Structure 1
Amino acid sequence: MLESIWPQNRNQNASAEDAPYLWTTADSQQAWGSPEPRDVTNRKNMALLIQLRWTAVMGQIVTIGFVQLWLGIKLPLAAMAAVIAALVTLNVVSMIWTRRRKEITSHDLLLALMLDVAALTAQLYLSGGAKNPFTSLYLLQITLGAVLLDARSIWSLVVLTTASLVGLTVAHRPLLLPQQGIGDDFSLYITGMCIGFLLNAVLLVVFVTRINRNLRDRDARLAAMRQRAAEESHIVRMGLLASGAAHELGTPLSSISVLLSDWRRMPELASHPDLIEDIAEMESSLKRCKAIVTGILVSAGEARGEGSAATTVHKFVNGLAEEWSSTRSKNTLHIKNEFGADLAIVSDAALKQVVFNVLDNALEASPGWIELAAGRSGDALVLAISDVGPGFSSETLAQLGKPYNSSKGRPGGGLGLFLVVNVIRKLGGKVSAENRADGGARVTLTLPLATLAIGGGDAG
């Protein structure tokens, strides 16, 4: 049986204006999603490399124009324009390819960086080779590779850039400089080196910062998935323990049932109405214990009776209320069914147990009044359980859905809400908890009707 879903560590001084805390699977699609979210880090980084290539295209056009027109240095414009046109074509093809490709790998990023190195080498070859101060842009490619790639790929890029630089010292097209002195040539080189350094620094800060943000997002997703795996492992262990306990309880419960039946038939006891009444109450309690054991086994997939069954929303809600009231408190629960037009759904044992658990803990916090409200929000069934108890503490709201989030002082307390959040998440829904403006608390379960509808998917 799920336990302690309704937090009993409610702060008597909790403010009704406490902001509601919402734990949703919409939020967890990126972190916990079901199915697991695909890692899009490489795709984002490829998009950044495409943006960097557009920057390179614009930078080359500006630099070539400045050198040709302002400094009067003759450049092979046709050949350099062909390299720029090749870069533009590569970028357009990369954008289309990235949209159509399902997965971007580290090898794809390596290929993109190598093509950028090849384009840079071609432009340097046409503009003085290793004597060109913009050879420092090779460091930009190496730095990006160090951030994006694995060790083997990084060294492959280092080898390529080193070979390119060495090759430029041997083969290149010399620049046709105007008639200037050595001092002027050196000043020109220093100026180019300063411009290259500034360009390197700006591009590194802008793009490496964005790449690191992508990597941090990836690490956050991985951490959330590891957390989810750990919590699901915890749930599996508890399920195994509960299933084993239910099997173990079957034999003693059957023995007690036989003994009570024998007692009812004994003449010595049959003549005492008070004893017969006590036996009847014991049999009723025993029947409830058997129902609890059955519920545990049904939820574990080892049904002793029927598990899921076809029903409608109205029948499901009314049946929940009637069954819960008959075994707990007949006059405490108030029903408000505003779902609207009825809809056929599958009544799932785990979902019913979740609602029962919320109601049980609401009863413990508010023995005099509980409300179960059913409504519809778009394509979702909304079940809201409200009470007039002391409300949630801010600590409980901040840790909603975490295991052992309770101050009841009982070993294992606080697992109920943890299990409820996981069950609802498996059904594709969300759980929210808040303090009501007029006092008390409210837990809201929102479930997509597509999951509950007959033929709409596995509700378990």
Structure 2
Amino acid sequence: MTPDLQPSRTPDSAAAMQQRPPAPRAIARLDDATGRKNMQQLIQLRWLAVVGQIVTIEVVHYGFGIRLPLEHMLGVLACLVVFNIASLLRWRKRREITNGELFLALLVDVGMLTAQLYLSGGATNPFVFLYLLQVILGAILLQPASTRIMVGVTTLCFAGLALVGQPLALPPDHNRGLSSPYIQGMLICFALNAALLVTFISRINHNLRVRDARLADLRQRAAEEEHIVRMGLLASGAAHELGTPLATLAVILGDWRHLPHFSSDPELLEEVAEMQTQVQRCKTILSGILLSAGEARGESSEKTTICTFLDDLVEEWRRTRPVRTFIYENRIVDDLPMVSDSALKQMIGNVLDNALEASPQSSRLDVHCNADHLVLRVSDNGPGFAPAMLQEFGKPYQSSKGRTGGGLGLFLVVNVARTVGGTVNAHNNAEGGATVTITLPLAAITLEEEEEDDDDAAEEVNEMNDVDNTLRAHAKAVHGS
């Protein structure tokens, strides 16, 4: 390997890796979910309107003795019920809710309200102020142009009712205060408007806040994945750069073994052999980086089982680390098939390395399946995490080791786990030390059937870790430049 690759020599790649916003599809999914929730709120509001109108009509017609055209008004209510049932069935199947569809739903509500007011007194009906509810909902749910149209439509409906509506046969008794039926109707209308606005606007604002929070999380994940891609490019460049000095060291150490003052001293010869072993390990790690960068995911993966994968991982980790006391307990009962994946292997290895560094004397790994998840718990007897680190757990460059660039191991662990739908949590133990718990969904790391062929296995792995896939693709592009 020759030092022919430096990150500073790839301006095209660097320019291509500017900060990206979240993927348009992800934003569209958030908008669709928010639109569906808002449409559900309108459907619920419409059911309340149906019940409220039935109660109001009955009270006014039979309680107050004010004659209303019951047949026509109940016919309008029947149309509203049919429309609401159709909306409920339609929006259960559709994923996308557009501004036009929300606007149409509100226009239908305005039309039904106008018909009921026309049949029950026109502009003199105290419930005419329910138009304000439609306008406010439009201001929250619709685009500015649609909101302006909604204001114009409701204004025209109010004016039309004043021109063509038949006033209610109410006595001029406004001076009676709450004893006046008209004042009572206005009070009920005000209370109804206030209650509906508080209830449904709070829910709609909650939907919008959830969308904004998820969008912010997507932006954060996009920034972190961009950071991982940059780290991958730097790692592949460093692998090329370190190839030559490691090869030189291997040659020098090989020559030292044959020098008289080394070969005659068993202690020195043992130290040289250990140095050769560590240099060879460094070369193996760098070769793995370059090999991974040049492969698509799944091309070198092997079909295995969860227990075999973990047992082999622990055995290799023990063999290549200065482990003193390490307890490994595998309590998995149902050994499911999976594809051996380098990203998962490195993720678990990073956590074990951190535990070993924090507690060289002893550490342990406990593994079990909990419902539909694989749970890996790594514990140590070290000093534990600082409170500030626990609050920022998984963020890059959060480390207590005092090294520049520290904290990237846990950052990568959290991101790899998150891409397969898993979580990583950490806490300090009451008796001392710390525990890191990795929870991975079995559906994301296992194969559905034993007899799946290699193509299916490769496809399963491809879906398992998008971040690692992106890293390798970028690194491969750089190698070819």
For Structure 1 versus Structure 2, the TM-score category normalised by the shorter chain is 0.7 to 0.9
Partners of 2:174 and 2:183 within 8 A in 1: no
Q: Give the drift of 1:439.
A: 3.0
RMSD: 2.9
Report 1 or 2 for greater relative contact order, CA contacts < 8 Å, sequence distance ≥ 6.
1
- Name the residue aligned to 2:246: 253
Give aligned-pair identity as a percent: 56
Structure 1 stretch displaced more, 316-325 or 135-144: 316-325
Partners of 1:39 and 1:218 within 8 A in 2: no
- Name the residue aligned to 2:391: 398
Structure 1 stretch displaced more, 49-58 or 316-325: 316-325
* CA distance in 2: counterparts of 1:181 and 1:381, whole angstroms: 75
Equivalent pairs, count? 423
Residues 117/350 of structure 1: CA separation in 2 closer, same or farther (3 Å cut): same
| 1:64 correspondence with 2:54 | no
- Name the residue aligned to 2:429: 436
Residues 125/319 of structure 1: CA separation in 2 closer, same or farther (3 Å cut): same
* CA distance in 2: counterparts of 1:453 and 1:52, whole angstroms: 44
SS state at 1:382 partner? strand
Structure 2's unaligned 5+ residue stretches are: 1-25, 448-455, 466-481
| 1:127 correspondence with 2:123 | no
| 1:40 correspondence with 2:48 | no
Partners of 2:417 and 2:424 within 8 A in 1: yes
Structure 1 stretch displaced more, 446-455 or 92-101: 446-455
Partners of 2:137 and 2:201 within 8 A in 1: yes
Partners of 2:32 and 2:95 within 8 A in 1: no
- Name the residue aligned to 1:108: 101
Please list, as runs of the form range in 1=range in 2, the aligned pairs for 1:115-154 lying within 5 A after superposition.
Answer: 115-154=108-147
Partners of 1:379 and 1:449 within 8 A in 2: yes
Match of 1:333 among 326, 329, 345: 326
Residues 295/378 of structure 1: CA separation in 2 closer, same or farther (3 Å cut): farther
Residues 119/185 of structure 1: CA separation in 2 closer, same or farther (3 Å cut): farther
Match of 2:215 among 216, 222, 226: 222
**Letter aligned with residue 412 of structure 1:** G
- Name the residue aligned to 1:346: 339
Partners of 1:299 and 1:350 within 8 A in 2: no
Please list, as runs of the form range in 1=range in 2, the aligned pairs for 1:304-323 lying within 5 A after superposition.
Answer: 307-323=300-316
Partners of 1:321 and 1:333 within 8 A in 2: no
- Name the residue aligned to 1:169: 162
Q: Give the drift of 1:196.
A: 2.5
**Greater helix fraction, Structure 1 or Structure 2:** 2
**Letter aligned with residue 159 of structure 2:** V
SS state at 1:40 partner? helix
Residues 448/136 of structure 1: CA separation in 2 closer, same or farther (3 Å cut): closer
Residues 37/423 of structure 1: CA separation in 2 closer, same or farther (3 Å cut): farther
**Letter aligned with residue 409 of structure 1:** G
**Letter aligned with residue 370 of structure 2:** S
Structure 1's unaligned 5+ residue stretches are: 1-32
Q: Scaled by the length of structure 1, what TM-score is found?
A: 0.82
Q: Give the drift of 1:396.
A: 2.8
**Letter aligned with residue 164 of structure 1:** C
SS state at 2:436 partner? strand
- Name the residue aligned to 1:282: 275
* CA distance in 2: counterparts of 1:95 and 1:365, whole angstroms: 57
Structure 1 stretch displaced more, 147-156 or 250-259: 250-259
Residues 341/78 of structure 1: CA separation in 2 closer, same or farther (3 Å cut): closer
- Name the residue aligned to 1:389: 382
